[in-house]
């Protein structure tokens, strides 16, 4: 949520900043801005709207200088206007600040500053920070930043510069990610390492309450009291391949990421399926078999699509590992005080590893002394670093705001985890081996499933003008229905509801009419007949039915108006296979509605505020 890029070195800063922002635009895209410095002059450019507006503004009025900071915004305080775009300046136009996060006590601070005669130029919480730093500034930017931050409550990832100290950039974080990069002709600062691929060779992740100081090739890390901190430096090439953040031949990142799934699923499983012991194994769980055996309850906590993956996880852990599982929205869990005994493990599921609520839930669980684990895609992210152990998805960067490949990989990882836990309990080696073989076949099955794209296109053309769509499934496919509905509403703005198919008659069936299609998830399995009855209930009320069903299923075809065929897999793998047509359906309908699929309105890829 919001992107920050900073650079100081021996080349023009603005092209580096604009390219970095381009790679981070999926983090926030309602306005963007940059500021550079030459001598003791600052050059500020900022624009509401997409990054293209800022790029045009910079082309028309270049911002010269070899150091600068920049920002792409997802508005929290104040509308998306030129005025509210970052960077923000203090009253003397000396200090410039870009900020991710929320200054929660901005109102009393603003009041105090106003009483002291400060005039505000924006409605943002960030501007308060610029004035505070300006207030404490007597020629030492690092000291002024430190002092200002002692007054602030909330979360921040910031980059700050002063026209009186050319070349210097100060960064600081509390709750919003910040990474320092060292490389090609200078040093960099970014809210996400993706912005630095191809520029920096090495990166250093800031921890909460740390500051960093950059000047040309020099950089240092400091604690809150400004004492030096020894940094652990990581090689960026380990986790970012060139071209990962490019669309290639695809018109959208979302479509590219949908089509990557055979590969990303294979990556999630690579080296983890163990034929010798008929189980899965993981390098980073940091649990001995004894500790594993002592776990008697799992709490899965997550937000958004990752929450839906967690709901599938509940069915998987119950069935394959016979373990009690609860799934909690992280935003609720962090403020509850549920009784949890010693054998409870808290497992955070997160693509980005930066979601503020999920991080807070993880920290709260840690504070209470529970073992915390994470299923995470982003290497080096805050949650990945703070959890006691975890499993990476290895799905590569997910840029489309609507999560696709991360979801299927999360479910695949949870399937492997359930096998791993199950094999220390009741699951026999024959059962374990069968699941391993079925998992191994999955990437090819998903490749075949992508063949449904033409069917999906035809269905999308028929229903793109619907204003309400229902998604219905049972058991493993109930969370899949929730996820299908979420995909559609996120990117097409069509109202969609996911529901357990049999629960329809307790309320939502009242919505059914000729203009409200229902997407039924009805591949063959234990509850097939039950779902068919639910489908008949909808048909009887005149509702059009789109069925996602097993290839060649004549029984479904006889009832449904449209059928999207998928290959048969065991029930516990159906949420992954069914996800493919659901993602494609949302994508195709959103295109027909003329929506910006990769940058849907009001949303951001990574939500680092509460
Ligand atoms: C945002 C994204 C969703 C995502 C959710 C949780 O809302 O738009 O796609 O599912 O955050 O993100 P996480 O990175 O924790 O999985």
* Domain limit, last residue, from 403, 426, 449: 449
Q: How far apart are the C-alpha atoms of 410 and 308, rounded to whole Å?
A: 10
247: in domain: no
Compute, in angstroms, the gap from residue 595 CA to the centroid of ligand 1: 19
3-state helix, strand, coil in the chain (%, to 5): 40, 25, 35
Q: How far apart are the C-alpha atoms of 301 and 367, rounded to whole Å?
A: 16
Compute, in angstroms, the gap from residue 102 CA to the centroid of ligand 1: 18
Residues 145 and 225 in one domain: yes
CATH code of residue 465: 3.40.50.10490
Neighbour tally for 327: CB within 10 Å: 23
607: in domain: no
Q: Where are the alpha helices (DSSP H) in 98-163?
A: 106-115, 126-136, 141-149
606: in domain: no
Ligand 1 atom 5 nearest Cα: 304
* Domain limit, last residue, from 195, 215, 238: 238
Q: Tell me phi and psi for residue 553, to 5 degrees.
A: -80, 100
100: in domain: yes
Strand partners for 218: 215
- Is pTM, for the whole model, over 0.75? yes
Compute, in angstroms, the gap from residue 530 CA to the centroid of ligand 1: 33
Residues 377 and 462 in one domain: no
Element (H, E) at 219: strand 218-222
Which positions are catalytic?
2, 605
State the total domains in the chain: 3
Residues 424 and 473 in one domain: no
Strand partners for 214: 169, 219
Residues 445 and 461 in one domain: no
CATH code of residue 114: 3.60.20.10
Q: Chunked in runs of 10, what are the mean pLDDT values of the chain (610 residues)?
A: 92 96 85 96 96 96 98 89 96 97 94 96 96 97 98 96 98 94 95 90 95 97 96 77 72 97 97 96 90 92 98 97 96 87 94 95 94 94 94 94 97 98 94 98 98 97 97 98 98 97 92 96 97 95 97 97 98 98 98 95 84
Residues 414 and 460 in one domain: no
Find the angle CA(571)-CA(575)-CA(580) to the nearest 5 degrees: 130
Residues 305 and 293 in one domain: yes
Residues 103 and 43 in one domain: yes
Ligand 1 atom 4 nearest Cα: 304
Residue 263, both tokens: 């590969």
Residues 150 and 294 in one domain: no
Residues 434 and 549 in one domain: no
Q: Which domain holds residue 406?
A: 253-449
Give the full edge-to-edge strand order of the sheet including 371-376: 325-329, 297-302, 344-350, 371-376, 389-392
pLDDT at 244: 63
Q: Contact, 389 vs 285, CB < 8 A?
A: yes
Give the full edge-to-edge strand order of the sheet including 218-222: 88-89, 95-100, 156-162, 168-174, 211-215, 218-222
597: in domain: no
Q: List C-alpha distances in Å: 149 to 96, 142, 165, 296.
A: 15, 11, 19, 42
* Domain limit, last residue, from 449, 469, 487: 449
227: in domain: yes
pLDDT at 288: 87
Check pocket membership of 381 for ligand 1, CB cut-off 6 A: no
* Closest among 100, 180, 157 to 380, alpha carbons compared: 180
Residues 284 and 231 in one domain: no
Residues 363 and 378 in one domain: yes
218: in domain: yes
157: in domain: yes
Ligand 1 atom 7 nearest Cα: 304
Residues 137 and 281 in one domain: no
């Amino acid at each position: 949520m919001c992107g920050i890029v900073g650079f100081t070195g021996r080349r023009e800063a603005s092209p580096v900043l604009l390219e970095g922002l381009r790679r981070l635009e999926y983090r926030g895209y309602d306005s963007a801005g940059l500021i550079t410095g030459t001598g003791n002059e600052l050059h500020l450019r900022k624009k509401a709207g997409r990054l293209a507006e800022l790029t045009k503004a910079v082309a028309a009025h270049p911002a010269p200088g070899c150091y600068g900071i920049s920002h792409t915004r997802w508005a929290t305080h104040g509308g998306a206007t030129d005025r509210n775009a970052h960077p923000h300046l203090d009253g003397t136009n000396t200090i410039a600040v870009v900020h991710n996060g929320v200054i929660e006590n901005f109102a009393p601070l603003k009041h105090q500053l106003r009483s002291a005669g400060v005039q505000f130029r924006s409605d943002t919480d960030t501007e308060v920070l610029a004035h505070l730093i300006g207030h404490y500034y007597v020629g030492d930017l690092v000291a002024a930043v430190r002092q200002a931050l002692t007054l602030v409550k909330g979360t921040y990832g910031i980059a700050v510069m002063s026209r009186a100290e050319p070349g210097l950039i100060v960064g600081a974080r509390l709750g919003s990610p910040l990474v320092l990069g060292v490389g090609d002709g200078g040093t960099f600062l970014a809210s996400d390492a993706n912005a630095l691929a191809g520029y920096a060779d090495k990166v250093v992740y800031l921890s909460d309450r740390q500051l960093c100081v950059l000047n040309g090739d020099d950089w240092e890390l400091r604690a809150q009291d400004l004492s030096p901190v020894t940094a652990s430096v990581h090689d960026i090439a380990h986790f970012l391949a060139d071209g990962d953040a490019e669309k290639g031949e695809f018109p959208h990142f979302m479509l590219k990421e949908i089509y990557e799934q055979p590969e990303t699923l294979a990556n999630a499983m690579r080296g983890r399926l163990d034929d010798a012991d008929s189980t899965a194994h993981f390098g980073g769980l940091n649990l001995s078999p004894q500790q594993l055996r002592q776990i008697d309850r799992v709490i899965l906590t997550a937000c958004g699509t990752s929450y839906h993956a967690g709901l599938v996880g509940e069915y998987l852990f119950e069935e394959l590992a016979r373990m009690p599982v609860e799934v909690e929205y992280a935003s609720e869990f962090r403020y509850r005080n549920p009784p949890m005994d010693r054998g409870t493990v808290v497992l955070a599921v997160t693509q980005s590893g930066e979601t503020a609520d999920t991080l807070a839930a993880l920290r709260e669980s840690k504070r209470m002394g529970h073992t915390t684990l994470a299923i995470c895609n982003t290497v080096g992210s805050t949650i990945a670093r703070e959890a006691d152990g975890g499993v990476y998805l290895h799905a590569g960067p997910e840029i489309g705001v609507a999560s696709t490949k991360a979801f299927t990989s999360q479910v695949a990882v949870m399937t492997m985890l359930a096998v791993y836990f199950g094999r220390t309990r009741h699951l026999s080696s024959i059962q374990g081996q069968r699941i391993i073989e079925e998992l191994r076949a999955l990437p090819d099955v998903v490749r075949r499933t992508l063949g449904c794209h033409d069917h999906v296109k035809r269905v999308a053309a028929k229903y793109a003008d619907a204003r309400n769509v229902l998604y219905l499934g049972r058991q493993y496919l109930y969370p899949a229905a929730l996820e299908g509905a979420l995909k559609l509403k996120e990117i097409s703005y069509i109202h969609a509801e996911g529901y357990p198919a049999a629960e329809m008659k307790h309320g939502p069936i009242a919505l059914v009419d000729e203009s409200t299609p229902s997407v039924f998830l009805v591949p063959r399995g234990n509850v097939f007949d039950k779902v068919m009855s639910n489908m008949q209930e909808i048909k009887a009320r005149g509702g059009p039915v789109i069925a996602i069903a097993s290839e060649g299923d004549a029984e479904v075809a006889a009832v449904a108006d449209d059928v999207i065929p998928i290959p048969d897999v065991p029930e516990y793998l159906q949420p992954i296979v069914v996800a493919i047509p659901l993602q494609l359906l949302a994508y195709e309908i959103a295109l027909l509605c003329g929506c910006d699929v990769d940058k849907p309105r009001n949303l951001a890829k990574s939500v680092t505020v509460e």
